[in-house]
């Protein structure tokens, strides 16, 4: 059977950027002999409009069955008034939770042509290619007790950082597996100097490494020092593995080393399915961008690079993923730009679909 994909384009610019990914999926079938079975469905506001819920049980069931889910973006001002329980974002959160996608891969990759876009010096970022693996389903965002309580005559806000050994071990494994496909190097970040969960984190990562991954180079760093090193000399890292809270901060900071939100892909992986592939959802980091939706201005590259991650991590088509990434690099080197990739001095931006077509032309020439 062909590999299967569920496309959930969502709201705002989601369907616009996904249209460009669909062109590439078709190209893969026609020109590379790699056909995918694609199903499409609704998520977020679009699902709410049709069904009164941002994710139906039927859509969730499909997501659990396919080899990989590709998601565009959800949300928009039209839905801001809705009750929290049916907000578009809830559709996304439910997908992540029900699929138990505990390992969030956020690459920070700086294409040479965009190095001047970074807030750091060209030397520091040009050619940067690192990956932050963030634990996504546990830690301080989920731990109990949590809440705002009365204590004497004042209130106290409580969150609990809580990690079990198995939660740490599974995300550590996912980082080591990833490192084997890259440069065999992992840096684990926590704060074992001041946090019990950090001590356990360091212990368990070390145990998993000793047991099964001694071929991978492992180092440890306190997360605050790690933040500093990420800004000072990010190229010293390859794979960074860290918890939910530190990963949230470090991945946002690392992402901005590289320029526009319109360039950033992500993957969220879970446990292996019966066919050995991990449960997986791929999506751009950006949202539905209501300020530019419907105008053909959105940059489709983040979504296209998310599909490239699917090729690599769900379908073992690393060469095809590299082919797509190289086509993106070529187009950028040729000076092709959507509006978000132009500096204050301006220039002439091309449309979402023209960017998709330029990438297709580069693929054809590859
Ligand atoms: P956003 O990422 O949608 O937009 C932030 C800024 O970046 C905007 O100025 C936008 O035009 C620009 N931008 C984003 N993606 C772009 C692209 N591909 N090409 C060119 N420019 C791009 O974040 P914002 O404005 O905070 O949220 C808008 C809506 O999206 C909200 O409803 C929010 O809840 C939702 N959202 C959804 C996410 C998701 O589906 N994973 C993630 C973040 C926000
Ligand atoms: Mg964040």
State pLDDT tens for residues 253-263.
Answer: 888 887 788 99
Same domain membership, residue 271 and residue 242: no
Last residue of a domain, one of 207, 225, 256: 256
DSSP secondary structure string for all residues of 189-256: EE-TTT-HHHHHHHHHHHHHHHHH-TTSEEEEEEHHHHHHHHHH-GGG-SEEEE-HHHHHHHHHHHHT
Number of domains in the chain: 2
**pLDDT at res. 84:** 85
Same domain membership, residue 144 and residue 34: no
Q: Residue 26: pLDDT above 90?
A: yes
CB of 75 shorter than 6 A to ligand 1: yes
- Write the CB contacts of 137 (distance below 8 Å, at least 6 apart in sequence): 96, 97, 100, 101, 102, 167, 244
156-164 long-range contacts, Cβ below 8 Å, gap at least 24? 161/195, 161/197, 161/243, 161/245, 162/138, 162/197, 163/135, 163/138, 163/139, 163/197, 163/200, 163/201, 163/243, 164/138
Domain containing residue 1: 1-110+261-366
Rounded distance between C-alpha atoms, residue 304 and residue 281, angstroms = 14
Q: What is the pTM of this model?
A: 0.94
Task: Identify the CA nearest to 281 among candidates 12, 73, 16.
Answer: 73
Asked if the structure places residue 356 within a domain, the reply is yes
CB of 257 shorter than 6 A to ligand 1: no
Same domain membership, residue 284 and residue 222: no
292 is in an annotated binding site: yes
Q: Residue 343: pLDDT above 80?
A: no
Looking at all shown ligands, the one closest to residue 252's CA atom is: 2
Q: Which residues surround ligand 2, an ion (CB under 5 A)?
A: 248, 252
Last residue of a domain, one of 256, 279, 308: 256
Q: Residue 346: pLDDT above 90?
A: no
Kindly state the tokens that stand for 315.
């379908």
Rounded distance between C-alpha atoms, residue 10 and residue 72, angstroms = 6
Same domain membership, residue 344 and residue 303: yes
Helical (H) or strand (E) element with 135 = strand 129-135
Complex prediction ipTM: 0.98
State pLDDT tens for residues 113-147.
Answer: 888 877 788 899 998 999 999 999 999 998 999 99
Same domain membership, residue 243 and residue 265: no
State pLDDT tens for residues 195-236.
Answer: 999 999 999 999 999 999 999 999 999 999 999 999 999 999
**pLDDT at res. 345:** 76
Looking at all shown ligands, the one closest to residue 20's CA atom is: 1
Last residue of a domain, one of 256, 275, 298: 256
Same domain membership, residue 245 and residue 149: yes
Rounded distance between C-alpha atoms, residue 283 and residue 273, angstroms = 20
Give the percent of the chain with pLDDT over 70: 100
Say what the alpha-carbon torsion angle 64, 66, 67, 72 is, to the nearest 10 degrees.
-90
Asked if the structure places residue 121 within a domain, the reply is no
Instruction: Tell me if 99 sits within 8 A of 279, measured CB to CB.
Output: yes
CB of 252 shorter than 6 A to ligand 1: no
CATH code of the domain in which 49 resides? 3.40.718.10
Instruction: Tell me if 36 sits within 8 A of 3, measured CB to CB.
Output: yes
Q: Catalytic amino acids?
A: 141, 191, 224, 248, 252
Q: Which atom of ligand 1 is nearest to the CA of 301?
A: 18
């Amino acid at each position: 059977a062909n590999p299967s994909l569920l496309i959930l384009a969502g709201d705002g610019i989601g369907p616009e950027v996904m249209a460009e990914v669909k062109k590439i999926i078709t190209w893969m079938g026609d020109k590379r002999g790699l056909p995918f079975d694609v199903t499409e469905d609704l998520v977020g506001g679009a699902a709410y409009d049709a069904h009164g819920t941002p994710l139906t049980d039927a859509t969730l069931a499909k997501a659990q069955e396919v080899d990989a889910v590709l998601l565009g973006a959800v949300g928009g001002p039209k839905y801001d008034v809705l009750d929290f329980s049916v907000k578009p974002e809830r559709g996304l959160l439910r997908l992540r939770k029900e699929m138990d996608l505990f390992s969030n891969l956020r690459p920070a990759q700086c294409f040479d042509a965009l190095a001047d876009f970074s807030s750091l010096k060209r030397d520091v970022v040009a050619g940067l290619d690192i990956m932050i693996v963030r634990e996504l389903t546990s830690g301080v965002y989920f731990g109990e007790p949590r809440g705002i309580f009365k204590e004497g005559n004042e209130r106290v806000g409580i969150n609990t950082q809580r990690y079990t050994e198995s939660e740490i071990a599974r995300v550590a494994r996912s980082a080591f597996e990833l490192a084997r496909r890259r440069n065999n190097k992992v840096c684990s970040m926590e704060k074992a100097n001041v946090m019990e969960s950090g001590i356990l984190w360091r212990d368990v990562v070390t145990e998993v490494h000793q047991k099964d991954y001694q071929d991978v180079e492992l180092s440890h760093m306190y997360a605050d020092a790690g933040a500093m090193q990420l800004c000072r000399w990010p190229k010293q890292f390859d794979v960074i593995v860290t918890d939910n809270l530190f990963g949230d901060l470090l991945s946002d900071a690392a992402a901005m080393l590289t320029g526009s939100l319109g360039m950033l892909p992500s993957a969220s992986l879970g446990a292996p399915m019966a066919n050995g592939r991990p449960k997986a959802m791929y999506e751009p980091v950006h949202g539905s961008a209501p300020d530019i939706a419907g105008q053909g201005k959105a940059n489709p590259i983040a979504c296209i690079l998310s599909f490239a991650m699917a090729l690599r991590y769900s379908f073992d088509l690393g060469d095809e993923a590299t082919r797509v990434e190289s086509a993106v690099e070529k187009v950028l080197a040729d000076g092709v730009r959507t509006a978000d990739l132009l500096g204050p001095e301006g220039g002439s931006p091309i449309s979402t679909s023209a960017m998709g077509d330029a990438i297709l032309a580069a693929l054809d020439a590859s």
